[in-house]
Amino acid sequence: MEENDEMGIPLLGDKFPEMEVQTTHGKMKLPDDFSGKWFVLFSHPADFTPVCTTEFVAFQERYEKFKELNCELIGLSIDQVFSHIKWKEWIKDNIKVNGNPVEIKFPIIADDTGNIACQLGLIHPNKGTNTVRAVFVVDPEGVIRTILYYPQELGRNMDEILRIVKALQISDKNGVAMPANWPNNEIIGDHVIIPPASDEKTAEERMKSAEKGEIKCFDWWLCHKKL
């Protein structure tokens, strides 16, 4: 880390800290091994636990959708690597979705020392000694774009994490913002928001574009369009 050494945990807009980790796929270097790709690093409290098992199945069931977005998944807990391996085997032997066994294909970091969890701020003392359910969404430049924290008792919504990755990619490509509940916003549907004008001339041009039907505006500061 650079900007937030004093705080001890990375923040939005920071580079993901460089680290070498032991995973179920062998040793990996982060974020270098995902260079040119988005990745989602997510922590879970422990292997062989009910909510975590449902989460890993849910992530795996959407793994191909993440990969279609040029996005990889990597899990983490403070368990040892052999525990991760045995848990993956248990899931494959005991869990089926639509009649098919579930095979976890993405890597899981073994952080049995807890050093990585501490570095990333994944242990919250008021919630116990295990990692909370954290999510880091990292872009192809290794920059942290989203951080989510969930308590141990609440499983995550993987469709929302997929939505985050897709929305950030569209925002980066088109210079737009996403409304609440995009693409099903209550007032503008699947439209995207044009950044507010920062000067009078742009505001006037924005309203002229709206008059021509090129975009739609509630006012000069709230304009939207269909991509």
Q: Give the contacts of 67 (CB within 8 A, at least 6 positions apart).
A: none
State CA 184 to chain mean position distance. Answer: 20
Token couple for 198:
């920062």
d(CA 55, CA 75) in angstroms, rounded, equals 11
Residues with Cβ within 8 Å of residue 202, at least 6 apart in sequence? none
Q: Is-contact 109 74, C-beta < 8 A? A: yes
Residue 52 appears among annotated catalytic residues: yes
Give the active site residues.
52
